[in-house]
């Protein structure tokens, strides 16, 4: 993937404690999320950022805001959602020995913020996406959208492998409410 945003850190390299601020608009390409679902990014996104020098290490903090579209997991209709996510990372010179969970590596005079931005977006995405809490989804038999249409399909699917249990329940009184 092409870099989303790079920061030239040469003015900060020999200036511990100094900060640079950025306020810019980004164009983020569509992404593929968990389960290979398409995440359509509605551009532009707004990036507000502070980069602070910490003796050859750099602290990046800020906020990324924008809108995206996902398909509803129940009825497959497109849903537009806002995202507002905070950013924070420490960048270490490549070659420094640091645990990967503590920061990101950089080389030269630039910080590539692409991994930070993509991680922030992915962590903010919902695991399940629904157009509304009362979405009825699609009919499992004919596939019609039950939010806008009704169908006469038999919804009670019976698994023939369970016929023996049903017979036992009817003969032996199999019980209800957890009793047998």
Helix (H, G, I), strand (E, B) or coil at 87: strand
d(CA 71, CA 129): 7
Structural domain total, the chain? 2
Residues 144 and 118 occupy one common structural domain: no
The whole model's pTM is what? 0.76
Residue 56 lies in a domain: yes
Residue located via tokens 């698994």: 159
Residues 10 and 95 occupy one common structural domain: yes
Helix (H, G, I), strand (E, B) or coil at 23: strand
Residues 40 and 77 occupy one common structural domain: yes
What is the percent of the chain with per-residue pLDDT over 90, rounded to a whole number? 56
pLDDT digits (tens, 9 = 90+) for 23-82: 999 999 999 876 788 899 999 999 999 999 998 899 999 999 999 999 999 999 999 999
Please count the CA atoms within 13 angstroms of the CA of 2 that sit on its side-chain side.
5
Q: How confident is the model at residue 177 (pLDDT cuts 50, 70, 90)?
A: low
For 140, phi then psi, to 5°, come to -70, -10
Residue 174 confidence (pLDDT) above 80? no
Residue 130 lies in a domain: no
d(CA 82, CA 43): 12
Angle formed at CA 90 by CA 85 and CA 91, multiple of 5 degrees: 120
- State residue 176's pLDDT score: 58
Helix (H, G, I), strand (E, B) or coil at 168: helix
Which domain does 166 fall in, by range?
136-173
Residues 13 and 89 occupy one common structural domain: yes
Residues 63 and 101 occupy one common structural domain: yes
Contacts of 119 (CB under 8 A, 6+ apart): none
Residue 97 confidence (pLDDT) above 80? no
Say if CB 29 and CB 1 are below 8 A apart. Answer: yes
Q: How confident is the model at residue 100 (pLDDT cuts 50, 70, 90)?
A: low
Mean pLDDT for the stretch of residues 108-130: 92
Residues 27 and 116 occupy one common structural domain: yes
Residues 11 and 94 occupy one common structural domain: yes
Residues 58 and 114 occupy one common structural domain: yes
Residues 43 and 22 occupy one common structural domain: yes
- State residue 116's pLDDT score: 94
Q: How confident is the model at residue 157 (pLDDT cuts 50, 70, 90)?
A: low
Both tokens assigned to 27? 């164009």
What is the percent of the chain with per-residue pLDDT over 70, rounded to a whole number? 92
- State residue 96's pLDDT score: 74
Residue 99 lies in a domain: yes
d(CA 121, CA 150): 37
């Amino acid at each position: 993937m092409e870099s989303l945003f790079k920061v030239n850190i040469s003015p900060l390299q020999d200036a511990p404690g100094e900060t640079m601020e950025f306020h810019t608009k980004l164009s983020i390409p569509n992404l593929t999320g968990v389960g290979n679902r398409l995440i359509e990014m509605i551009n532009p996104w707004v990036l507000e950022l502070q980069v602070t020098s910490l003796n050859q290490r750099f602290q990046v903090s800020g906020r990324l805001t924008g809108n995206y579209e996902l398909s509803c997991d129940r009825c497959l209709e497109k849903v537009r959602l806002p995202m507002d996510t905070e950013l924070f990372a420490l960048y270490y010179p490549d070659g420094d020995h640091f645990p990967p969970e503590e920061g990101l590596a950089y080389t030269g005079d630039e910080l590539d913020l692409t991994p930070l931005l993509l991680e922030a977006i992915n962590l903010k995405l919902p695991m399940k996406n629904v157009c509304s809490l009362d979405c009825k989804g699609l009919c499992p038999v004919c596939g019609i959208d039950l939010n806008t249409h009704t169908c006469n399909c038999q919804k009670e699917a019976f698994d023939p492998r369970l016929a023996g249990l049903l017979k036992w329940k009817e003969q032996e009184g199999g019980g209800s409410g957890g009793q047998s």
